[in-house]
Amino acid sequence: KAGVTQTPRYLIKTRGQQVTLSCSPISGHRSVSWYQQTPGQGLQFLFEYFSETQRNKGNFPGRFSGRQFSNSRSEMNVSTLELGDSALYLCASSSARTTGTEAFFGQGTRLTVV
Amino acid sequence: GQQLNQSPQSMFIQEGEDVSMNCTSSSIFNTWLWYKQDPGEGPVLLIALYKAGELTSNGRLTAQFGITRKDSFLNISASIPSDVGIYFCAGQRWGTSYGKLTFGQGTILTVHP
């Protein structure tokens, strides 16, 4: 069974640009969550999607958005990039309709904003 | 926001030694998960705990879900060089916390051959 696939692995963008990251969950998993990981703040929850609906959202500005498609693949978008958006962006997939089940992470997308 | 306090922050041990790390919280969590992350990679799930008091093993790893639901620990026995990495605890609350894991700050483990 294939794991969680994130593309691209690495990105370099200029301040003010926008970026779209992609995540393909484990086959059969319908829940996809996104996290931002930085040395200073650690792993922070961005949002979660289940069956194309956002069910939960963390404390990030509106520049961070996401969506999920009918095949459960998810994208997150960051508009008007800032230097502080440089981070490892991780997505996690879960089979759960409810909370409290295992989450499996992809390898992440390393975003560098210059 | 919700915080998990993970300790120690780092450990330097000799190959063959046992390792113990733990996480505590001021609030209850219903699920505890332990992950290992290598540099530049995503976290890999090691152990999942779902019931207070539960003790679960995965090879040389053993983890327990605290009875108060506010803590968890992870033990690694007979460490080997490939155990090197960052270990994270994560908690989840039932109800409307869909997809949201709250993470500890991580424990950096170094194993000397």
Interval A50-103: pLDDT, tens: 999 999 999 999 999 999 999 999 999 999 999 999 999 999 999 876 656 789
- Asked if B97's CB is within 8 angstroms of A4's CB, the reply is no
Among A4, A32, A42, whose Cβ lies nearest the Cβ of B106?
Answer: A42
Identity at A63, one-letter amino acid code: R
Average pLDDT over residues B68-97: 93
pLDDT of residue B93: 87
User: Mean pLDDT across chain A, nearest whole number?
Assistant: 94
Q: Is B7 within 8 Å of chain A by CB?
A: no
The number of helix segments (H) and strand segments (E) in chain B equals: 0, 11
Q: Is the CB of residue B43 less than 8 Å away from at least one CB of chain A?
A: yes
Tell how strand B31-37 and strand A53-57 pair up.
Answer: unpaired
- B25 confidence band (pLDDT: 50, 70, 90): very high
Closest CA to A84 of A114, A62, A46, A44: A114
What is the pLDDT at residue B41? 93
- The per-residue pLDDT for A1 is 62
Structure confidence at residue B82 (pLDDT): 95
Interface test with A, best of B2, B38, B92, B100 (most A CBs within 10 A): B100
Distance CA A43, CA B3 (A): 11
Residue A22: the pLDDT is: 98
Chain A's closest residue to B94, CA to CA, is A99
Q: Above 60 in pLDDT, residue B113?
A: yes
A18/chain B closest Cα distance in angstroms: 23
Q: pLDDT at residue B1 above 60? A: no
Contact A30, A55 (CB under 8 A): no
pLDDT reading at B3 higher than 80:
no
A107 to chain B: nearest residue by CA?
B42
Q: How many CB atoms lie within 10 A of CB A13?
A: 16
Closest partner residue to B41 (CB to CB) among A58, A98, A107 is A107
Per-residue pLDDT averaged across B35-63, rounded? Answer: 95
The pLDDT, as a whole number, for residue B77 is 98
Tokens of B78: 């007979």
Asked if A50 and B105 come within 8 Å (Cβ–Cβ), the reply is no
pLDDT of residue A63: 98
Q: What is the pLDDT of residue B26?
A: 93
- Report the pLDDT value the prediction gives residue A95, as an integer from 0 to 100: 85
Q: Give the pLDDT of residue B40.
A: 87
B44 vs A: CB within 8 A: yes
B39 contact A CB<8A:
no
Q: Which residue of B has its CA nearest to A89?
A: B42
Predicted local distance difference test score (pLDDT) of residue B2: 54
